[in-house]
Amino acid sequence: MTTTQDRPAPLDEIKIGGLGSSRRRVEDNRFIRGRGNYIDDVVLPGMLHMEILRSPIAHGRIKSIDVSKAYAIPGVRLVITGEMMATRNLAWMPTLSYDTQAVLATDKVRFQGQEVAAVIADDPYIAKDGCEAIVVDYEQLPPIVNPTQAQAADAPLIRDDKESQADNVCFTWQVGDKENTEKAFAQADVVSKIDLHYPRTHPSPLECCGSVADFDRATGKLTVYMTSQAPHIVRAAVALIAELPEHMIRIISPDLGGGFGNKVPVYPGYVVSILASILTERPVKWIEDRTGNLISTGFGRDVYLHGEVAMRNDGKILAVKMNTVSDHGAFYADAQPSKFKIGLMHSAFAAYDIPYAYLDSIGYYTNKAPGGVAYRCSFRVTEAMFFQERMIHAAADDVGIDQAEFRRINLVKDDDFPHRTPYGFLTDSGQYEKCLRVGMEAIGYDQFRRDQEEARKRGRLLGLGISTMTEPLGAGNSREYDILGIKMFDSAELRVHMTGKAILRTGAKTQGQGHETTWPQIVAHELGIPAEDIVVEEGDTDTAPFGMGTYASRSTPVAGAAVAMAARKVRAKARKIAAHLLEVSEEDVEWELGRFHVRSAPERGVTIQECAMAAYANMPDGMEPGLEATSYYDPPNLTWPFAAYFCTVEIDPATGVWDVLRFVAVDDCGVRINPLVIEGQIMGGLTEAYAMANMQFITFDVDGNCIGSNFMDFLLPTAWETPGWELHEVVTPCPHHPIGAKGVGECATVAGPAAFVNAVVDALKPYGVRNIDMPMLPDRVYEAITTRSDVSGAPPVRTDR
């Protein structure tokens, strides 16, 4: 046994890569060297290639499919149609919102880009040729491309496959206190109203979706490499849909080239590649192309809002009403907790002290791709906060109070936690006013307002937009949150080897967020094992403990908590080993970072590494050997980070082009594991927010053709047009998270867009403009200036409910 003679200097947590260390991302070592292992890098012996034939039209009945010409092409091995899927009961699959979705169309096509058939061939080019040789005879039906058309009396029924479906409504959902909300409105001095559209947008990971399915008839084992943010859910889904035994299914998510929510749903391509491998008894690879991705996979937003705010003359908000109409495409495939039909839209106004609120929502089927909840959004929180901050901006203007002051009046005060939000959530911590103040000082709020006044006199259009919000991240506790009945806990397994090095596996799945870097920091904090001595593995269902995956910024709140809890279990066992090594009772052993010592003699101690060795070489009598632990963590509550964003813009009145002058972001995500990674998350998210506000446009013409199906039309900002971001931090620890952390991965896309729109609208206030819908393209801004009215890119919203 080795005990240290002199008391060693305490470990420096930052030096060992613990909490608060800005250690560089370890995964980047392989990414920037081109040594990542993405889905298209997976090559198996004898592998075939699959291509999907997609519908060219938005709505039509399939009269016939002739695949004979495809089979005539040398190298084509198999053609799969919906009919073939149907004989195996696989033509339809369940969605994550208790609807059904066609895997390959049998009866009708319901959106442009829908999967109709698949060709499996020796190489991807032959497969593509095979698709072109398939002849499909469609009877065209009138397409529906927005909710206004969907609700028309003579609208064609999109989901005629569903017996109980008589119209195009996919759900209605209400929440809040209607009666008291109405009473508050009756007593209000001022009522502010606004109509908004959060346009459809699309997550655009650099890597599109794909899979390599490998069914081994000899062992009965199905291995699927795929681009999934939630591999365990896929395993469960495949077991249930394909009726394969779960222990014979292995889902592996290799390196993902971004996800942004795009890789949460189960897509037809995955399912068809699995059947193709079973039928051909060869591995089958499917790699989606960019247009396939943009026209068929999970989109984000596409929600219309009619909002009303009831206020007193002094600016105190008494109640809010929200009426949302959302477009869900042809299948209700939103990935969201099953209790909530419009996701967490009712998290709106959580940061504000408002007694009453009422949300009435209705969702429609249309002839567009299904999706709904994707793109850095934590289940429609992005829409909720955008609507909230646009309503707050309009309300402040309508009651005639300065934007910052109006927020200060209505934000929840530090002493008021825990706070029950108007729609019933419980928020537990925050320093909202401090964040607001930090942001105001950083942007030079008062000076800018003076400059703005001066500039207006000289015909220059300057604007300042604020966006403040708290959002629910980390779904979620098992009482309330489940997806298809599976509770939304998460997990971690920590195995410490005899030399004190360790492997950590979690039920989450990083897509670029840096889990390989940040999870070891939690272990370093809990155990004093240097972060560089810990390797992280995620995404393999044969080795990782069951978890619900990575989305809704839930990894830190849930899996990250599980990491801390697993490390604490390891420490508890190590303590027993330390007592044995030090020959004292456990109560006499005290923990310091990385070391146990005898309470009365701190120089007598053993390091965590020495305990690890003893766990394999010198354990106490009767103790199980080894040093490892697993934790399944059911979080007591969501985490509630806060953001206060300030954006200043200048608009060129001659062209409608607007430039960001400055953007100040103050984020409070609780205890920061890795400040550098957080900054990366926020800068990336702000860039995406800027893209949505400024340039990204994915829309549909009257025939249901997707406009924006490639990167020539749907723009990604480059470093050239992206503004500089000025980041600031406030830290309010989360009271229930083991290390006090809150989620952060989506804060910037959630809070960001309203800051840009509020800034542009603020600049146009002298023209009487109250709204311009995103994307605020120069022609829209110019039109608002010249017509002196709001510019909406959207069909009128239904307000009669």
Active site residues: 229, 376-377, 746
From the list ligand MCN, ligand CUM, none, pick the one residue 594 interacts with, judged by a Cβ distance below 5 to 8 Å according to partner type.
Answer: none
Question: Could you say which of 111, 260, 386, 387 contacts ligand CUM (CB under 6 A)?
Answer: 260
Near ligand CUM in 189-248, by CB under 6 A: 229
Neighbour count for residue 628 (Cβ, 10 Å) = 16
Residue of minimal CB distance from ligand CUM? 261
Let me know: does 42 contact 254? Beta carbons within 8 Å. yes
Angle of helix 608-617 relative to helix 561-582, nearest 10 degrees, comes to 70
CB closer to ligand MCN, 176 vs 261:
261
Residue nearer to ligand MCN on the CB measure, 589 or 747? 747
* Min separation Cβ 680 and ligand MCN, Å: 7
Stretch that binds ligand CUM, among 71-79, 256-264, 385-393, 534-542 (CB under 6 A): 256-264
CB of 639 to ligand MCN, least distance (A): 8
b/e sequence 752-781, b meaning 16+ C-beta within 10 Å: bbbbbbbbbbbbbeebebbbbbbbbbeebb
DSSP of 46-99, one letter per residue?
Answer: T-EEEEEEE-SSSSEEEEEEE-HHHHTSTTEEEEEEHHHHHHTT-SEEE-TTS-
Contact flag: residue 481 with ligand CUM (CB under 6 A): no
333 binds ligand CUM (CB under 6 A): no
Assess 376 for contact with ligand CUM (CB under 6 A).
yes
Residue 344 engages ligand CUM in binding (rule: CB under 6 A)? no
Kindly tell me which of 155 and 731 has the beta carbon lying closer to ligand MCN. 731
| Residue 515 binds ligand CUM (CB under 6 A) | no
Residue 744 as a binder of ligand CUM (CB under 6 A): the answer is no
Task: Give me the least distance between CB of 744 and ligand MCN, in Å please.
Answer: 4
| Contact in structure between 215 and 281 (CB atoms under 8 Å) | yes
Element (H, E) at 742: none
Which is closer to ligand MCN, CB of 493 or CB of 538?
538
**One-letter identity of residue 272:** V
List the Cα angle 667/671/676 in 5-degree steps. Answer: 65
Question: What is the C-alpha separation between 563 and 737, in angstroms, rounded?
Answer: 11
CA-closest candidate to residue 62, choices 121, 7, 105: 105
Which C-beta is closer to ligand MCN: that of 681 or that of 694? Answer: 681
Q: CA–CA distance from 557 to each of 273, 470, 498, 512, 734 (Å)?
A: 34, 15, 30, 17, 9
Binding range to ligand CUM, per CB under 6 A, among 182-190, 249-257, 369-377, 384-392: 369-377
CA pair distance 232, 542, nearest whole angstrom:
10
- Of 770, 522, 471, which Cα lies nearest the Cα of 642? 471
Residue 264 within binding range of ligand CUM, rule CB under 6 A: yes
- Partner interacting with residue 541 (select from ligand MCN, ligand CUM, none; CB below 5-8 Å by kind): none
Q: Which stretch binds ligand CUM (CB under 6 A): 147-155, 373-381, 527-535, 641-649?
A: 373-381
Binding mask 552-581 for ligand CUM (x = CB under 6 A): x-----------------------------
Q: Which does 373 bind (CB under 5 to 8 A by kind): ligand CUM, ligand MCN, none?
A: ligand CUM
Question: What residues form DSSP beta bridges with 360?
Answer: 174, 323
Q: Specify the residue, 230 or 325, whose C-beta has the smaller distance to ligand MCN.
A: 230
- Of 376 and 407, nearer to ligand CUM (C-beta) is 376
Residue from 60, 124, 261, 752 touching ligand CUM (CB under 6 A): that is 261
State the Cα–Cα distance between residues 354 and 360, nearest whole angstrom. 17
Confirm if 631 and 562 have CB atoms less than 8 A apart: yes
Q: Select the residue interacting with ligand CUM from 196, 305, 373, 643 (CB under 6 A).
A: 373
Helix axes 268-280, 231-241, angle to 10 degrees: 60
| Pair type for strands 210-216 and 221-226 | antiparallel
Q: From the list ligand MCN, ligand CUM, none, pick the one residue 756 interacts with, judged by a Cβ distance below 5 to 8 Å according to partner type.
A: none
CA 296 to chain centre: 18
Nearest approach, Cβ of residue 745 and ligand CUM (Å):
7
Q: Which region among 185-193, 323-331, 376-384, 605-613 touches ligand CUM (by CB under 6 A)?
A: 376-384
| 166 three-class SS | coil
Distance of CA 752 to the CA centre of its chain: 15
How many CA atoms are closer than 13 Å to the CA of 295, on its beta-carbon side? Answer: 28
Based on the shown chain and the rule CB under 6 A, indicate whether residue 378 belongs to the binding site for ligand CUM: yes
Residue ranges in contact with ligand MCN by CB under 6 A: 205, 258-261, 376, 511-515, 518, 550-556, 669-674, 677-678, 681, 684, 741-746
Q: Which does 642 bind (CB under 5 to 8 A by kind): ligand MCN, ligand CUM, none?
A: none
Of 163-171, 255-263, 562-570, 712-720, the window that binds ligand CUM (rule: CB under 6 A) is 255-263
Q: Which stretch binds ligand CUM (CB under 6 A): 304-312, 370-378, 569-577, 613-621?
A: 370-378
Using the contact rule CB under 6 A, the part of the chain among 257-265, 310-318, 450-458, 674-682 near ligand CUM is 257-265
Nearer to ligand MCN, 85 or 686 (CB): 686
Identify the three-state secondary structure at position 545.
coil
**Residue 227 contact, options ligand MCN, ligand CUM, none, Cβ 5-8 Å cut-off depending on partner type:** none
Distance CA 309, CA 300 (A): 26
Rounded (to 5) percent helix, strand, coil in the chain: 30, 25, 45
What's at 699, amino acid-wise? T
How far from the centroid of its chain's Cα atoms is residue 256's Cα? 14
Q: How far apart are alpha carbons 155 and 331 in whole angstroms?
A: 17
**Nearest by Cα to 183 from 355, 395, 313:** 355
State the nearest-atom distance from the C-beta of 640 to ligand MCN, in Å: 12
Q: Which does 513 bind (CB under 5 to 8 A by kind): ligand MCN, ligand CUM, none?
A: ligand MCN
Pick one of ligand CUM, ligand MCN, none as the site partner of residue 264 (Cβ within 5 to 8 A by kind). ligand CUM
Read out DSSP for 114-164?
Answer: -EEEEEEESSHHHHHHHHHH-EEEEEE-----SHHHHTSTTPPPTTTTSTT
Q: Which of ligand CUM, ligand MCN, none is residue 26 near (CB under 5 to 8 Å by kind)?
A: none
Nearer to ligand MCN, 131 or 563 (CB): 563
Nearer to ligand CUM, 296 or 452 (CB): 296
Closest separation in Å from C-beta 673 to ligand MCN: 3
- Closer residue to ligand CUM in complex, CB, 268/745: 745
Residue 40 is given by DSSP the state: G
Q: How far is the CB of 489 from ligand CUM (least distance, A)?
A: 17
Separation between Cα atoms, residue 337 and residue 182, nearest integer Å: 29
Compare residues 305 and 744 and give the one whose CB is closer to ligand MCN: 744
Q: Does 118 help bind ligand CUM (rule: CB under 6 A)?
A: no
Nearer to ligand CUM, 127 or 381 (CB): 381
- Binds ligand CUM (CB under 6 A): choice among 374, 385, 558, 563: 374
From the list ligand MCN, ligand CUM, none, which binds 681 (C-beta under 5 to 8 Å, kind-based)?
ligand MCN
Residue 689 phi/psi, 5° resolution?
-65, -45
Q: Which of 269, 388, 404, 397 lies closest to 320 in space, CA to CA?
A: 388
**Number of other CB atoms surrounding residue 458 within 10 Å:** 6
Number of residues that bind ligand CUM (CB under 6 A): 13
User: Is there binding between residue 551 and ligand CUM (CB under 6 A)?
Assistant: yes
- Interface residues toward ligand CUM, by CB under 6 A: 229, 259-261, 264, 373-378, 551-552
